[in-house]
Chain A
Amino acid sequence: MERTETGTTDARDAAQAADLLVTVATTLNERLAVTAGELARSQTLLREASNELMTAFRGAADRIVAAQRDEGAGPEKSAEYGLVLDHLYRACQHLQSHDLVNQLIDAQKLRVDKMREKLAQAISLAAPPVVRPDQAEPWIERSRAMLDCIVAGIQQIDQDARAPLGEKHHAGSVDLF
């Protein structure tokens, strides 16, 4: 009698632990959905700003390249074109950063999506009813399977992780072999 009661208590604890895991996975998945939305919004804003800047840059760049080709331009004009070109070169360097940030956001979105996929998979493991709910073992197995799924998601993120920001000091570096 005592043994059965202990078994029931163990099963109840294991069931509560499994439920807690579902709650945590669901909450985390909801937070990640918000993050995914914010990343997408940031990317849209960045893209719109980049497009506007690119249009302005393109107009100025085409004009200066055409002006430079005009052989009738005197030395004063050429010097002025050189100054304008310097400004455009600086703009060119920063416009590249827009593009690179966009790529970084793409990578983050992919990582968030992959983690959400794994969390959804973990949550789905809790959907079917437990065959022997009065036993602790099936609940423990369910929790273990869910945790395996979540850990696989984290490992996938680690594998995909790249560190371009951490290596920022390399930006612009040149190695000639």
Chain B
Amino acid sequence: MKTILAVDDSATMREMVTFVLESAGYRVIEAEDGAQGLDRATAQNVDLVITDQNMPNMDGLTLVRSLRELRDYKSVPILLLTTESSDSMKSQGRAAGATGWLVKPFDPATLLEVVQKVLR
């Protein structure tokens, strides 16, 4: 069973992502912000990270950069799931090493499609 780390400061968003992924058979662990996400990811290797951008303590882009510095996360897919949709932010995401960018509110079927694609 693949394990996915869902990072978002909104409990509702975490719950939505977790429900959709668990209903499709994935195991999900959650984190409330980038700093906690980094802790969780270093404590336990995960197969995919889905993170929000705007969060307290550590934002999504910083989390992506921090994870990419770790040997175990050089090639693990990381998706940004955020309300931010500007091209400049997406460029920053790409430069930081993100695998993809999804804009909220997400369509569950589309999220599952993307997850399956990047985990393949």
Contacts and interface: CB of A to CB of B under 8 A. Distances in A.
Interface of A: 50, 54, 58, 61, 64-65, 68, 85, 88-89, 92-100, 103, 164, 167, 170-177
Contact of A100 (B98, B104, B110): B104
30 contacts: A61-B23, A65-B23, A88-B19, A89-B20, A89-B107, A89-B108, A92-B20, A93-B106, A96-B12, A96-B16, A96-B104, A97-B105, A99-B10, A103-B10, A164-B83, A167-B85, A167-B86, A170-B85, A171-B105, A172-B102, A173-B85, A174-B100, A174-B101, A175-B100, A175-B102, A176-B99, A176-B118, A177-B93, A177-B94, A177-B98
B70 interface: no
Contacts of B16: 92, 95-96
Nearest to A98: B12
Nearest to A94: B105
A67 B117 CA distance: 26
Contacts of A100: 83, 104-105
B103 A173 contact: yes
B90 A89 contact: no
Contacts of B12: 50, 54, 95-96, 98-99
B103 A176 contact: no
Given A89-B20, A177-B101, 16 more contacts: A54-B15, A65-B23, A68-B23, A88-B23, A92-B20, A92-B108, A93-B106, A93-B108, A96-B12, A164-B85, A170-B103, A172-B106, A174-B102, A174-B103, A175-B90, A177-B100
A171 B100 contact: no
Contacts of B104: 96, 100, 171
Interface of B: 10, 12-13, 15-16, 19-20, 22-23, 83, 85-86, 90, 93-94, 98-110, 114, 117-118
Main secondary structure of the interface of A (DSSP, over half): helix
A108 to B, nearest CB: 15
A85 B20 CA distance: 9
A68 B13 CA distance: 22
A176 B100 contact: yes
Contacts of B98: 177
Contacts of B10: 99, 103
B19 A65 contact: yes
A60 to B, nearest CB: 10
Contacts of B101: 174-175, 177
